A and B are shown apart, each in its own frame.
Chain A
Amino acid sequence: MSRTRTGILLALGVALIYPILITDPYFLHMAILVGIYGLLAISLNLLLGYTGQLSLGHAAFFGVGAYLSSLLFLNLGISMWGGLVLALCGCGALGFFVAKLAFKLRGAYFVIMTIGIAEVLKLVALNWVDLTKGPMGLTDIAAPQISLGWVTIDFGQKVPYYYLVLFFISLSVILQHRLVNSSFGRAFVSIRENEDLAESVGIDCYKYLVTVVIISSSIAGIAGSLYAHYVSFIDPGVFAFFISVNAVMMAIGGGQGTQAGPILGAILFTLIPEWLRIFGDARMAVYALIVIFMVIFMPRGMLYYASQLLNLGKKSHGR
């Protein structure tokens, strides 16, 4: 255990001093995006990695979180703190309904159902012009400020926002850790490994699956809210299929069913599209090839292969 703990503390330490070492705004920007997509990947990994249910519509929760939080700010003037709470509750509630609907089915049916829900929500965002301004999108979604008496923290600045995102990442990692190592987590894994068997020993799979979707969608909603207040502009593109696919690639590419995997995946799959800019117009084609390559040849994720390489052995619930 101690080695894992050292690893976590080391990673946290690096993350804490990162803005001090790196002052280039571009790298700070990338780090914030890694954090936001990392939250989305963590939320997806709870569902995909631990219960084995593949959702290709996680952009639905990301988008709803972004829109709820932005609309609350723009229409009622309530700052991001309220927006985060609303995104958490709203997406949790949406997750509850989606799970109730979608878990009548498994496998490919479930996947297509999740895609369908994200697509319907995208069409709502496009067509409910009075509320969402349609394809024009919402602008001027400001980040909040906190006054601590003698000093004011402006989250419109990159460094404070970086620490805010880091705070949420740490929170969700702790939550994930507690959850996975509880009886809940063991129930999740039993569902992943053999649902019929799990059911036969008295695990109410349906109940656990609904619970995990509620937790997962709430975290995805927070990621959406953080995204909206960071880039200060959103349009129906937040529901894009690409965002869902990318989240799945982060979870799988990093190492599904592991705790560090999604974060590693988020770093990789946020940076790879940036590195691929050298390919110009062929960028996304090369990206697609990388996706295919990783799915086929590295199904256990980077974390597994990296630890094999470093001969650390397995420290996780890897498949």
Chain B
Amino acid sequence: MLFVQYVLNGLIIGGAYALIGIGLTLILGIMNVVNFAHGEMYMLGAYFLFTFFSKMGLNFFLSVLLAILTVMGVGFLFEKGILKPLRRRSIDTVMLSMIGLSMFMQNIAMLIWTPVPESIKSPLPMETYTLGGLYFLPQRILVICAALLLVLLTHLLLKKTKVGKAMRATFQDLEAASLMGIKIDRIYSFTFVLGAGLAAASGALLGPIFTVHPYIGNLANLKAFAIVIIGGLGSFAGAVTAGLLLGVFESLGAAYVSSGYQDAVGFILLIIILIKRPTGLFGKVRQLR
């Protein structure tokens, strides 16, 4: 029973991981940008929730929504201000700029919110529900429900809407998509803002479970990269599966091996996948250069 509980806990955290991973895999697959500032969107999501909810005393759900929207705005500014002028530059140049941007945001966050870790008190009841010998904390139920809902919405967006179709077309063949009259620039902006929003949602959902400090983005970002590669570059289903898998393996690793190595699980999975199946679980043949 304990084993099932660990798997369940892992799935809950994994749902939030999947959200960060989806955004990163879309940005990498569609825009060819190795977004090292993606983890900072997660961090900002958590911090804006802290500001709106814990500091300003707004309604919790409204605060989550506002936090996501604010981060999407920040993402829009970065896309237009930094990424757009760098469109024709090499992938390495863009990647290093994003590393610089990530350092910049961490330090700005440190100036705004101080380096002292903050905790967000969830307004949901703190007592656990028991069902069939398993324990459920309301905040964690919220995380998994909201994560699944967002994954579903993003899936529908990609599959059913016109902009989703345009995004998939851009991923498959940039030039052909552009020739068919798709405004690549707009697709890029949309993708980046969507990714930022998903990462922020993940941060806002996990914020009340973990503590919030300016450097939480580092680990979140590295895990997101692991998810992207394990799942296969640009693969939506891959990112979701890998996110959930990572959550479960981390939970089991912490329980049965050592909690100190919990954060290494992602990289160990990553290394195994890269040796056995370099294109990832759901990988396409297209190689990223």
Question: Of A107, A126, A252, which contacts B96 at CB under 8 A?
Answer: A252
Contact check, A292 vs B100: say whether CB atoms are below 8 A apart: yes
Q: Is the CB of B107 within 8 A of A109?
A: no
Contact of A299 among B34, B93, B271 (CB under 8 A): B93
Which B136-195 residues have a C-beta within 8 angstroms of A?
none
A119 to B278, CA, bound (A): 20
B97:A295 contact, CB within 8 angstroms? yes
Once the chains bind, are A245 and B99 in contact (CB under 8 Å)? yes
- Which candidate, B9-17, B236-244, B256-264, is the interface stretch facing chain A? B256-264
Question: With A111-B95, A116-B222, A116-B267 as given contacts, are A296 and B107 in contact (CB-CB < 8 Å)?
Answer: no
B111 touches A123 (CB 8 A): no
- Partner of B222 from A115, A289, A291 at Cβ < 8 Å: A115
Residue in B97, B111, B288 whose beta carbon sits within 8 Å of that of A285 in the complex: B111
Alpha-carbon gap, A176 to B103, bound state (A): 32
Interface membership of B76, Cβ < 8 A:
no
Q: Is the CB of A109 within 8 A of B263?
A: no
Q: Would you call B270 an interface residue if the criterion is a C-beta within 8 Å of the partner chain's C-beta atoms?
A: yes
Whether A101 contacts B263 by the Cβ 8 Å rule is: no
A113 on interface, CB distance cutoff 8 Å: yes
Q: Residues of A contacting B271 with CB < 8 Å?
A: 101, 113, 116-117
Contact across chains for B96 and A112 when beta carbons are under 8 A apart: no
B225 at the interface (CB under 8 A from A): yes
* A108 at the B interface (CB under 8 A): yes
- B104 an interface residue at 8 Å Cβ cutoff? yes
Distance of A54 Cα from B229 Cα, bound (Å) = 17
| Chain B 83-121 per-residue mask, 1 if CB under 8 angstroms from chain A, else 0 | 001100101110111011101101110110000000000
> Counting CB contacts under 8 A, is B268 at the interface?
yes
Which residue from chain A places its CB closest to the CB of B28 in the assembled complex? A108
CB contacts (< 8 Å) of B225 on chain A: these are 112, 115-116
**What is the CA–CA distance of A175 and B92 in the complex, to the nearest angstrom?**
27
Residues of chain B lying within 8 A (CB to CB) of residue A296: 85-86, 89, 93, 97
Indicate whether B289 reaches chain A with its CB closer than 8 angstroms: yes
Residues of B contacting A5 in the complex (Cβ-Cβ under 8 angstroms) = none
With an 8 Å Cβ cutoff, the count of chain B residues facing the other chain is 43
Count chain A CB atoms within 10 A of each CB in B82, B106, B229 and give the residue with the most: B229
| B176 smallest CB distance to A (angstroms) | 22
Question: By the criterion CB–CB under 8 Å, are A116 and B226 in contact?
Answer: yes
With A123-B263, A127-B260, A284-B103 in contact, is A105–B95 under 8 Å at CB?
Answer: no
Task: List the B side residues contacting A56 at CB < 8 Å.
Answer: 99
Instruction: Compute how far the CA of A67 lies from the CA of B120 in the bound complex, rounded to whole angstroms.
Output: 38
Q: In the complex, A116→B272 CA distance in Å?
A: 12
CB–CB A123/B260 < 8 A: yes
A residues less than 8 Å from B99 (CB atoms): 56, 245, 291
Q: Name the B residues within 8 Å of A291 (CB-CB).
A: 96, 99-100, 103
Q: How far is the CA of A109 from the CA of B95 in the complex (A)?
A: 12
Interface: A288 (CB within 8 A): yes
Main secondary structure of the interface of A (DSSP, over half): helix
Out of A101, A123, A245, A299, which one reaches B274, CB within 8 Å?
A101
| Separation of A54 and B104 alpha carbons in the complex (Å) | 21
**Cα distance A115–B223 when bound, in Å?**
11
Instruction: Find the B residue at minimum CB distance from A112.
Output: B225
Give the complex CA separation of A287 and B264 in angstroms: 29
The answer, yes or no, to whether B218 is at the interface (CB within 8 Å) is yes
Please determine whether B288 and A289 come into contact, CB atoms closer than 8 angstroms: no
| CB under 8 Å from chain B, chain A span 244-286 | 245, 248-249, 252, 281-282, 284-285
Q: Which residues of A contact B229 (CB under 8 A)?
A: 109, 112
B126 within 8 A of A: no
B285 interface contact, C-beta 8 A: no
Indicate if the CB atoms of A111 and B260 lie closer than 8 Å: no
B34 engages A116 (CB within 8 Å): no
- Beta-carbon nearest neighbor of A293 in chain B: B100
Within 8 A of B (CB), among A83-113: 101, 104-109, 111-113
- State the B residues within 8 Å of A (CB): 28, 34, 82, 85-86, 89, 91-93, 95-97, 99-101, 103-104, 106-108, 110-111, 218, 222, 225-226, 229, 258, 260-261, 263-264, 266-268, 270-271, 274-275, 278, 287-289
8 A-B interface contacts by CB (under 8 A):
A105-B278, A108-B91, A112-B34, A112-B226, A113-B271, A123-B261, A289-B104, A292-B101
Chain A: residues with CB nearer than 8 A to chain B? 54, 56, 101, 104-109, 111-113, 115-117, 119-120, 123-124, 126-127, 241, 245, 248-249, 252, 281-282, 284-285, 287-289, 291-292, 295-296, 299
Known: A126-B260, A292-B82, A296-B89. 19 other contacts (CB 8 A): A54-B92, A108-B95, A109-B278, A112-B229, A113-B271, A113-B274, A115-B222, A116-B266, A116-B271, A127-B261, A245-B103, A252-B96, A285-B111, A287-B103, A288-B107, A291-B103, A292-B100, A296-B85, A296-B93
